[in-house]
Amino acid sequence: MGPFQYWLEHALFQLIPAVTRFMTTQWGWPFIESVHFTGLALLFGSIATWDLRLIGVMKQVPLTALHRLVPFAVLGFAINVITGLMFLMTEPGQYIYNPAFQIKMLFIGLAGLNVLLFYLTVFRRVSAPDARAVSLQAARLSGAVSLALWTGVIIGGRLITFYRPLDCKPGQAIGFVADCILR
């Protein structure tokens, strides 16, 4: 995976030079970081409210009412994808070789898989007026898994700044969760 990571680092860095120029200005990175945090608030606020309801908190609130939060979660996710790509294009080496970033991406993928499985298997049964106990148990599990994964995404994102890998050369990064080890 090392040579691919090295290639990806250089490809991203050269992808859109205007992004790098903006991000390296005095206020570029802090501004985009603030926008990223706003997206996170929209995303996690909406998802956490929904997941807590699935788990059993706020039982008096119908799921269909809370489902109206989905567009806010999608907007927050879109904001975070765009701003996250801006960070990645500006400092690809800080992210590509970073175990915290790799774990964050793994959790995002698993959270996406969890929501896909929820909508394919449980959502229709849970949102029906005569929801069965089996459907409710699956919904509770999906909500708990979602909360855990998105909390992991946030923790992984926060830890990125604490794990700054050394510059990697081809063949020096090892494994999926790769550190750069100077030999």
Give pLDDT, residue 182. Answer: 41
Question: Which residues, in sequence order, are bridge partners of residue 180?
Answer: 173
Whether residue 45 lies inside any domain: the answer is: yes
Whether residue 176 lies inside any domain: the answer is: no
Rounded Cα gap, residues 108 and 121, in angstroms? 20
Structure tokens at 24: 């390296």
Name the residue among 106, 86, 84 with its Cα closest to residue 150: 106
According to DSSP, residue 167 is labeled P
Per residue of the chain (183 residues), what is the pLDDT tens digit? 677 777 777 777 777 788 888 888 999 999 999 999 999 999 999 999 999 999 989 888 888 888 899 999 999 999 999 999 999 888 887 888 888 999 999 999 999 999 999 999 888 777 666 655 556 788 899 999 999 999 999 999 999 988 766 555 555 554 444 455 443
Give pLDDT, residue 166. Answer: 59
- Match 């929501």 to its residue by tokens: 115
Whether residue 69 lies inside any domain: the answer is: yes
Whether residue 23 lies inside any domain: the answer is: yes
Give pLDDT, residue 124. Answer: 77
Contact at 8 Å (CB) between 35 and 83?
A: yes
Whether residue 36 lies inside any domain: the answer is: yes
Give pLDDT, residue 161. Answer: 85
Supply the range of the domain harboring residue 128.
2-162
- Give helix then strand counts, H and E, for the chain: 9, 0
Give pLDDT, residue 92. Answer: 83
Give pLDDT, residue 183. Answer: 36
Rounded Cα gap, residues 167 and 155, in angstroms? 24
Does this model's pTM top 0.75? My answer is: yes
Whether residue 71 lies inside any domain: the answer is: yes
Rounded Cα gap, residues 133 and 28, in angstroms? 51
Question: Which residues, in sequence order, are bridge partners of residue 173?
Answer: 180
Number of domains in the chain: 1
